[in-house]
Amino acid sequence: MAHRAQAQVLSGITDAQKSGLSLGREKGTNHRAGYKHKVTSRLKASASHKQWCAANPERVAARGEKTRSENHYRWKGGTARLNASIRRLTENRKWMDGVRARDGKCTKCGSLKNLEAHHIVELADLLERHGITNRDAARSCPDLWDLTNGKTLCRRCHYAHHNRKFNEDPREYVQAAARAPEGAIQEAAQSRQRGGGGEFSGGLL
């Protein structure tokens, strides 16, 4: 007899438990939406999943083939640009994590917030240089995942490098405003109306 069934025999079962079991047995439903597992549970599941993937590489590859390209349920005929598609690869995520972990801060201003990995030689140039036309070719090209071709920039410096307009995260603005001296926010707002930069101690206006 299973442990849960044995416990139910010995201790009985409450109405709430009966309701939960009934919901759990419904197919095609997710009654645990929004439920957060403990960190220890997530780490245990992650370790188990990594172990299974390492022991079954052929099954991992076969499973991936079922969900790629036209086999994916959100396939729209290949409308996504190759550049954007490659940036969603696991290999690119590992590359970005490796660059940020190596530098630890923005290599331009020293900021520790909103760090992003920047290509020294642009990704588009690498794709053209190596004649890459699909994701599989990108995966097998070591130059794309060379950490020496990356450097860490904060979001502000990254936007400035690419000449893009930078808008602060409103949540960061609220936090900085709470730390600002009395009257600084009003003064900064008036400065913005006059065309000034509007900087205050929080540096976020």
CB of 152 closer than 8 Å to CB of 98: no
Task: Provide the mean pLDDT of the chain.
Answer: 78
Q: Domain range holding 115?
A: 82-161
- Count of residues in the chain: 205
Mean pLDDT of 74-85: 72
CB of 160 closer than 8 Å to CB of 166: yes
Residues 151 and 172 in one domain: no
Give the pair of three-digit tokens for residue 24.
């759990």
Q: Is 23 exposed, middle or buried (0-12, 13-18, 19+ CB in 10 A)?
A: exposed
pLDDT above 60 for 24: yes
Residue 12 lies in a domain: no
Give dist(CA 21, CA 7) in Å, integer: 14
Give dist(CA 159, CA 153) in Å, integer: 9
pLDDT above 60 for 183: no
Residue 142 lies in a domain: yes
3-state SS of 126-176 is HHHHCCCCCHHHHHCCHHHHCHHHEEEEEHHHHHHHCCCCCCCCHHHHHHH
Give dist(CA 5, CA 8) in Å, integer: 5
Q: Tell me, what's the pLDDT at 95?
A: 96
Residues 94 and 155 in one domain: yes
Give dist(CA 54, CA 94) in Å, integer: 17
Q: Tell me, what's the pLDDT at 1?
A: 53
Give dist(CA 84, CA 123) in Å, integer: 10
Tally of structural domains, the chain: 2
Residue 123 lies in a domain: yes
Tens-place pLDDT, residues 30-78: 666 667 788 998 899 999 999 999 999 999 888 888 887 778 777 766 6
Residue with tokens 């994916």: 72
- Integer-rounded Cα Rg, in Å, for the chain is 25
CB of 22 closer than 8 Å to CB of 16: no
Residue 116 lies in a domain: yes
Which of these, 134, 54, 45, lies nearest to 86 by C-alpha position?
134
Residues 108 and 143 in one domain: yes
Mean pLDDT of 199-204: 37
Tens-place pLDDT, residues 110-144: 999 999 999 999 998 898 899 998 899 999 999 99
**3-class SS at 180?**
coil
Residues 145 and 175 in one domain: no
Which of these, 52, 49, 144, lies nearest to 89 by C-alpha position?
144
Residues 156 and 173 in one domain: no
Mean pLDDT of 167-188: 52
